[in-house]
Amino acid sequence: MALPIWLFILVSVIKSAVVLVVLLTAVAYTVWLERKVVGHMQNRWGPTRVGPFGLLQPAADGLKFLFKEDLTPPHVYKPLFLAAPLIAVIFALTSIAVIPFGNSVTIGGYSIPLQITDVNTGLLLILGVTSIGVYGVALAGWSSNNKYSLLGGLRASAQMVSYEIALGLSLVGVLIMSGSFSLRAIVDAQGGHFWGFIPRWNVFPQFIGFFCYLMAAYAETNRIPFDLPEAETELVAGYHTEYSAMKFAMFFMAEYANMITVACLATLLFFGGWHGPIFGPPILQAVLPVFWFAAKIVAFLFLYIWVRGTLPRFRYDQLMAFGWKFLLPLALVNLIATAIAVAW
């Protein structure tokens, strides 16, 4: 049964508030998870002092950034210097609006989808919104009036534009197979099994596409081994060298929010979304899809952190050559092969 307009607005506001709180909490604890996982990989503890297992460390970091002195150097171009972190964090958080994180639930006879808004072109919207985030990084580098920051901003712009092409092409194979831009329809197309026991996830027929997506996603989010825009050994801290206090924190909020968005997209497009074993009473059957979706995201974030703790940084010429000479042709080959296979 369709919701009355007043109830639809109320439900949308509640869903928006819940998703925003969960996302910001996930951003904070992804930082904690990264410090703990990389710490154990390097035979050290990571955060241990603030709360049990260091679980209150994100709250302590947030308080520190809030009360830290906010310095704005006199030589910056102030309007864009202040706008850059806002652009980065706003567009990083906006993309979560169209991501479905579970199936519909029925409350009081009304069917409520576990998604803030279902858009037929949800995938295009996410790609468009996240690509605008590059303006925050580029403007931060330019407006800082600092050579290191400018180089970092230029590197980020070139890197993101280059790898966005491979990222977009890597997803076309999934779109050809599912026949829709709607994220919910793409997940629904992955229901069932191959030969009765292998999940019908797109990662199996689209393994090359997933590899291209994974590499492009690392580059898009400026993560090791693609963190050339920050590159502490060469550029001090790159595009955010001149930033401090909460403005500095906002760039990292945007980075980790983008990591979570990338993990959500990988789960929806390649790993069956919320599909998984469903059993037990009706309440458990309603909760399990959200659990499987969250578990896949955590596994993907762990892979992100694992790569960071393992691989060294590329040289910049290697980074660009990898994107243009290897990843882009590979994504094109995968696209052509998928189109031929589906037509045949």
pLDDT digits (tens, 9 = 90+) for 121-144: 878 888 888 888 788 888 888 888
* Number of compact structural domains in the chain: 1
Q: What is the pLDDT of residue 105?
A: 73
pLDDT, mean over the chain: 83
Q: What's the Cα-to-Cα distance from 193 to each of 103, 149, 153, 175, 272, rounded to whole Å?
A: 18, 50, 45, 19, 11
Provide the 8-state DSSP code for 111.
E
275 or 214, greater pLDDT:
214
CA angle 43, 226, 300 (to 5 degrees): 65
> Residue range 197-217: average pLDDT?
87
Q: What is the pLDDT of residues 239-267, one digit of tens each?
A: 778 887 888 888 888 888 888 988 999 99
- At residue 1 the predicted structure's pLDDT band, cuts being 50, 70 and 90, is low
**Residue type at 92 in one-letter notation:** A
Q: Residue 211 belongs to what domain range? A: 5-343
Q: What is the pLDDT of residues 91-100, one digit of tens each?
A: 888 888 888 8
C-beta of residue 153 within 8 angstroms of C-beta of residue 141: yes
296 or 315, greater pLDDT:
296
Other residues' Cβ atoms within 10 Å of the Cβ of residue 334: 21
Residue 44, C-beta contacts closer than 8 angstroms, at least 6 positions apart: none
181 or 212, greater pLDDT:
212
Q: Please say if the pLDDT value at position 77 is more than 70.
A: yes
C-beta of residue 203 within 8 angstroms of C-beta of residue 210: yes
Write down the pTM of the prediction: 0.87
Q: What is the pLDDT of residue 330?
A: 92
Q: Please say if the pLDDT value at position 24 is more than 70.
A: yes
Q: What is the pLDDT of residue 55?
A: 87
**Residue type at 149 in one-letter notation:** S
Q: What is the pLDDT of residue 2?
A: 63
Tokens of 337: 């092969």
Q: What is the pLDDT of residue 148?
A: 83
- At residue 231 the predicted structure's pLDDT band, cuts being 50, 70 and 90, is low
Helix, strand or coil, per DSSP, at residue 198: strand
The sign of the CA dihedral 120, 124, 127, 131 is: negative
Q: Percentage of the chain surpassing pLDDT 70?
A: 98
